[in-house]
Structure 1
Amino acid sequence: MTDRRLRYFLAVIRAGSIRGAAEALHVAASAVSRQIAELELDCGSPLLERLPRGVVPTEAGRIVAAHAERQEDDAALLEDRLRRLRGAEDGTVRLCCGGGFLTDLLDNGLAGFTAAHPGIACKVTLGTTEGILDAVAEGDADLGLAYNPASRPGLRSAAMVRQSLAAILLPDHSLARARRSARLKAFAALPAALLPPGHGVRQMLSRVEADGGFRLTMRLETGSFELQRRFVLAGMGVAFLPEFAAAPELREGRLAAIRLVDPLLSHAAAHLVVKAGRTLPEAAERMAAWLGARLLAFGAAH
């Protein structure tokens, strides 16, 4: 098994097709197909199941893919250790996060981290909860910031703090003046900004709606947390977010938060997710410790 064959095979698994892998690798599809055929010959077993729209790994393919991922991680770790031996503090940390973390990440995480570690860069991508877990599990991200993710084998939480979902309103709204906590049903009649149905927060809300026999009044559906905050600031209604997602406006008194006490919503938590069993490069290890200690999502006081 040569490095090239394993690298090409891993690209096919991640892209879900020969053509997609070829585009990612900037090579001809025929070159990818040839390397996969030779790898299957080496292994003595088919590694891919060809479907009408792409490919999926066979059982043998999953074993080889896991081996290739370990080899990829080991190569990155070797490079990191050699760089540290030379006394260089540099590298790039790949971080995948949900949109609700962005303000907290920039204001309380990256701003201070890059000043303290000027040689370390950060590549940030946005994803849904499932997308974040996939990115970390598949090695496309070193760290993941996710809100209330489901437990998944092969991943662990380097930091986790309970962060109840809250109803975000203008401070002069009658509900904001009257109470500090409430059940979701109390907001059913208010125009609401909601995340798309596939988002983890929306799914939590939908379960509470179904259990309580009511429906929220959706007026805006958007995956943008910024747009949701502006929806509330414009006096258009309510949004449902963890408090750290609206921290600047809450701190300045422009918005108010009413914590939701429905069990499913009050037990939600923010997680810093890493791949279990993987030794992180030094740059990623430093950033993980920094974020865990300084983000509002993980209980830091500012």
Structure 2
Amino acid sequence: METLDAKALRMFIAVVRCGSIRSAADHLGVAASIVSRQIADTEKNVGLPLFDRTSRGVGLTDAGGLVYEHAQRVLEDSGVLAEQLDQLRGIQQARVRICCGEGFLGDLIEHALSKFVKVYPGISYYLKLGSTDQVQDEVANGDVDIGIAYNPVIDTRIRSLAISRQPLCLVAPLDHPLLKEQSVSLAQCITQSPYSLLIKGHGVTQLVSRVAVDHGIAVAPLIDTPSIDVLRRFVMAGLGVTFLPRFAVSTELNRGALGIVELNDPLLVQASAHLMVKARRRLPNSVERLSSFLAAEMAAFQQ
């Protein structure tokens, strides 16, 4: 088998990620015939079919799975090499891709990036928001370098560089009676007050749903939304309560705009924030430096 070049590997990965040759061609901005021909050449080179073709698109064969893992490693190592060569040339520019939950955004920018950019002015950033599930997938697929998420499920594709316990809390208007308690149960909250909740795929909602099911309580929020800002505004407008870790509402707490009390359900007490990278990936220097800085400076990763 001849060595697979970077162009062939990128097209192959695009077909895997997009689910079809036509979608991959649109994503890459080339004709579908070019992608189809490249995949055919790659399969001929490998000597085995890489895709199971169906009316719905394509799926990986066993050989395709092996080539996909190889392709990711090759392109990741190429990125590391390119950064190292740039440093030898005296070029300090690098780019780090980050995906995080919305609740981490203020903490990330105000406590970490605002300082880091002054120390390493040659690094630029791509920053996107996502649910816990989306953050994990982005990291595992190599679409971003660093992920920051709340209470992700165990995933062997991912390595957590920093983990910090961040209990889930009741966030309520300042005059809410439950704020007088030392701690409260989820059952108390969702049976006594209207509440808003993040949509499925977020770590907060996964936790709330699991505890509610254990108590035989249906989860029926007045508002469900992908936006934490909506949750904050819901509470500050006096419409009801919501559930978030403390760091997600630290600005509002400092302003005295709302109140907070920890939930005492054991599963919610043990919830945690994770700083993640792809497992078994050799990290570029820029990613290593930034991830270490985030772990040291972000409030979400301080016990």
TM-score category by the smaller chain?
over 0.9
Does the alignment pair 1:76 with 2:79? yes
**Which AA in structure 2 matches 1:258?**
V
Does the alignment pair 1:183 with 2:207? no
Cross-structure match for 2:106:
103
CA contact (8 A) 1:191 1:218 kept: yes
What is the distance in 2 between the residues matched to 1:6 and 1:216? 45
What is the distance in 2 between the residues matched to 1:165 and 1:25? 41
**Cα gap change, 1:228/1:78 in structure 2, threshold over 3 Å: closer, same or farther?**
same
TM-score by length of 2: 0.95
Cross-structure match for 1:248:
251
**Cα gap change, 1:161/1:40 in structure 2, threshold over 3 Å: closer, same or farther?**
same
Aligned-residue offset at 1:129 = 1.6
Q: 1:64 aligns with which of 49, 62, 67?
A: 67
**Which AA in structure 2 matches 1:25?**
L
CA contact (8 A) 1:90 1:283 kept: no
Aligned-residue offset at 1:201 = 1.7
Q: Which moved more, 1:29-38 or 1:208-217?
A: 208-217
Structure 1 consecutive aligned stretches of length 4 or more whose deviation exceeds 4 Å:
none
What is the distance in 1 between the residues matched to 2:206 and 2:148? 18
Aligned-residue offset at 1:72 = 0.2
**Which AA in structure 2 matches 1:9?**
F
**Cα gap change, 1:253/1:54 in structure 2, threshold over 3 Å: closer, same or farther?**
same
What is the distance in 2 between the residues matched to 1:276 and 1:226? 32
Q: 1:13 aligns with which of 16, 21, 35?
A: 16
Does the alignment pair 1:52 with 2:69? no
Q: Give the gaps of 5 or more residues in structure 2.
A: none
Aligned-residue offset at 1:51 = 2.2
Percent of aligned positions with the same letter in both sequences?
46
Aligned-residue offset at 1:47 = 0.2
Does the alignment pair 1:284 with 2:287? yes
What is the distance in 1 between the residues matched to 2:133 and 2:201? 9
TM-score by length of 1: 0.95
Does the alignment pair 1:237 with 2:240? yes
Does the alignment pair 1:118 with 2:136? no
Q: 1:148 aligns with which of 148, 151, 176?
A: 151
What is the distance in 1 between the residues matched to 2:35 and 2:184? 57
Aligned-residue offset at 1:212 = 0.9
What is the distance in 1 between the residues matched to 2:145 and 2:276? 9
Q: Give the gaps of 5 or more residues in structure 1.
A: none
CA contact (8 A) 1:164 1:259 kept: yes
Superposition RMSD in Å: 1.4
CA contact (8 A) 1:190 1:217 kept: no
Aligned-residue offset at 1:70 = 0.7
Q: 2:142 aligns with which of 139, 147, 170?
A: 139
Cross-structure match for 2:175:
172
Aligned-residue offset at 1:214 = 2.3
What is the distance in 2 between the residues matched to 1:130 and 1:165? 18
Aligned-residue offset at 1:199 = 2.7
Does the alignment pair 1:85 with 2:115? no
Aligned-residue offset at 1:118 = 1.8
Secondary structure at the aligned position of 2:110 is classed as helix
